[in-house]
Chains A and B, each alone.
Chain A
Amino acid sequence: MTKPEPLPRILNANDLATGDVVYWSGSKWTRHIAEAEMIADNDAADALGKTEMAARRVVDVYPFEVNFENGVPVPARYRERVRSLGPSVRLDLGKQAGE
């Protein structure tokens, strides 16, 4: 049996000062998952996470799997979907509410 192709991954973290969930766009951290860039090189992503944490911009950097739908990354797991949107029980709060 052939192994399924691994899903593409993007990098996320929490902003050190605000705690807000942020994504790596390729050049900077962004609050919007739509602007996130796919990880091309795992080692480079690891190194980037360490540098960015050391630079005191973010904490808890980690990659997660996404499906690209119409060019926009959609988290494969529910947990990351909740992070990208906000609480499913408070649609008036978080990124889903335009905050």
Chain B
Amino acid sequence: MYKYDDFDHAIVNARVDEFRDQVARRVAGELSEDAFKPLRLMNGLYLQLHAYMLRVAIPYGTLSADQLRMLAHIARSYDKNYAHFTTRQNIQYNWIKLAEAPDLLADLARVEMQAIQTSGNCIRNITTDQFAGATAEEVADPRPYAELLRQYSTFHPEFSFLPRKFKIALTAAPHDRAAIKLHDIGLELYKNATGDIGWRVFVGGGMGRTPIIGKVLREFLPQAYFLGYIEAIMRVYNRYGRRDNIYKARIKILVHELGLEEFHRQVDAEWADIQKTFAEPPAVELERISAFFVNPTFETIATPVAIYDDARKTNPAFDHWVERNVCAHKQQGYSIVTISLKAVGEIPGDASADQMDTIAALADQYSFSDVRVTHEQNLVLPHVRQIDLFALWEKLKDIGLASDNVGLASDIIACPGMDYCSLANARSIPIAQDIAKRLAPIERSTGELKIKISGCINACGHHHAGHIGILGVDKKGEENYQLSLGGSAAEDTTLSTILGPGFDADGVVNAVEKIVACFNTIKRDNERFLDTYRRVGTAPFKEAVYG
């Protein structure tokens, strides 16, 4: 993975020192809260329902085992022994004290981590496919480009005060695990008909109050123009994005209001102008960065691996786990393992300090010290020998992390909701816990089902992209939940459609159960929930829920 150079270290350490000074001045009364608030937010420090919350960036969801150990240390030393992995591949701590925040950031900096770009109207943490560098599906590892973008966007003077926050996601595989069409800019690296590799550029996607699927702005962008073209998009947005209305400030509204054709024309004009002065980084720089992402030294392993195959045959529980949580690797004899952070009845995305430490040790032992965070709030060990899978599974069982539910009904995305978040209308977590408990007994036979829950319209829980989406709303001071069906964040991105009137907390869990029961009676063969929904529409589900 990428290692900081002297310059990276210098800017991050300088930022920590600067924040230490700002905190001291705030506590001494030299800075008012109005002056201080944007400064603390620029360092990822929010004020939430119970305390300060720190959001730490995990660039493109890639962590080393040492970094994960540091995250565990922070949970123990500065928080209450746990933390929460988010849908932006970040991690959040819920009980941070202001005075301790600078020391915390200094600890993070020791392992080349920080909380920059986790708040404010800047280019936020860049996200990508959690299987990057491990899957045979991709045409190249997208992470060197994500790292290039991270370096380009960190403290970018022109783009530090955009009309609104700005999210970029990349993938290099046709199977989209990064929800690229639901980002301000989505980038898909692919090989065209003539064998050249370049980017399909999507723009103006997003969820929140006005969910929109990103549109193709450029069908094929040669890699050589990567940064200049993004700069052109950013410039058009920065100049014309609305600053008069926070709800209309995202690029999706600008694209919608201008129309794709006009937006395209403006970007092209800007791009033509930029090319007179903008120098793309020299190839040697991309090579320098790419060198940090080369394959680990894989062994040559003959397949099939008999021990692994035998364990699958003789141990059904292990076999179930492999079926759901283990994916094909590009290297023969290796697999990609998803560690579900969704044990039934537990809090989606939460991990204790002890669990993080153990996963770090397992990454050292089995996965070249490499760990990934998924936007579906799970963790990944990307390079595990098949011969080690059984032992790994046994060790995961010891720490309660061997749930065999990836992609099933209990693998629910849930934002922190009203249990932690000051913007929430309703709780998300208890709804997820109740649904998981209710559906766990039938989830294997139900098949792939993505349930996503947000505690307010900001949609951090991606409810618009859920096969079943749940949105918490405030109904005269009471928690109420709106159900929607048919969303997807994958390459077949769709937005979910509201089913009908909302429910209270018990009601929404009952309604989801009825929807799943209805699906199980009308599905054809091994049809996924989403495919059945696309075939039959809302009518049978409405009938099942509302009678």
Q: Which residue of B lies closest to A14 (CB)?
A: B47
- Cross-interface CB contact of B418 among A21, A53, A82, A86, cutoff 8 Å: A82
Binary contact readout B12-37 vs A (1 if CB under 8 angstroms, 0 otherwise): 00000000000000110100110000
A78, B97: Cβ atoms closer than 8 Å: no
B96 interfacial by beta-carbon distance below 8 Å: yes
In the complex, A60→B47 CA distance in Å? 9
Q: Which residue of A lies closest to B432 (CB)?
A: A89
In the complex, A40→B71 CA distance in Å? 46
B397 interfacial by beta-carbon distance below 8 Å: no
Interface size class of A (residues with CB under 8 A): 20 to 34
B97, A18: Cβ atoms closer than 8 Å: yes
Question: Given the complex, which residues of B lie within 8 Å of A82, measured CB to CB?
Answer: 49, 418-419, 427
Interface SS of chain A = loop
Report the count of interface residues on B (CB-CB < 8 A): 28
Closest Cβ–Cβ distance, residue B76 to chain A (whole Å): 15
Whether A19 touches B52, Cβ cut-off 8 Å, given contacts A88-B430, A93-B80, is yes
In the complex, A82→B94 CA distance in Å? 14
- Cross-interface CB contact of A78 among B29, B96, B347, B478, cutoff 8 Å: B478
Question: Given the complex, which residues of B lie within 8 Å of A53, measured CB to CB?
Answer: 33
In the complex, A16→B33 CA distance in Å? 9
In the complex, A14→B429 CA distance in Å? 24
A78, B419: Cβ atoms closer than 8 Å: no
A88, B33: Cβ atoms closer than 8 Å: no
A94 interfacial by beta-carbon distance below 8 Å: yes
Q: Which residue of A lies closest to B425 (CB)?
A: A79
Contacting A at CB under 8 A, from B402-455, are 418-420, 424, 427, 429-430, 433
A94, B50: Cβ atoms closer than 8 Å: yes
A56 interfacial by beta-carbon distance below 8 Å: yes
Most buried by B among A19, A21, A59, A78: A19
Question: Given the complex, which residues of B lie within 8 Å of A77, measured CB to CB?
Answer: 477
- Cross-interface CB contact of A59 among B47, B418, B427, B479, cutoff 8 Å: B47
**In the complex, the 7 A-B pairs of residues with the closest C-beta atoms, listed nearest first:** A19-B51, A19-B52, A87-B419, A89-B429, A56-B29, A18-B97, A59-B33
Residues of B within 8 A of A (CB): 26-27, 29, 32-33, 47, 49-52, 80, 95-99, 347, 418-420, 424, 427, 429-430, 433, 477-479
Instruction: Give 12 A-B pairs besides A18-B98, A90-B419 with Cβ atoms closer than 8 angstroms.
Output: A14-B51, A16-B33, A17-B98, A18-B51, A19-B98, A53-B33, A56-B29, A78-B418, A79-B49, A79-B424, A82-B419, A86-B50
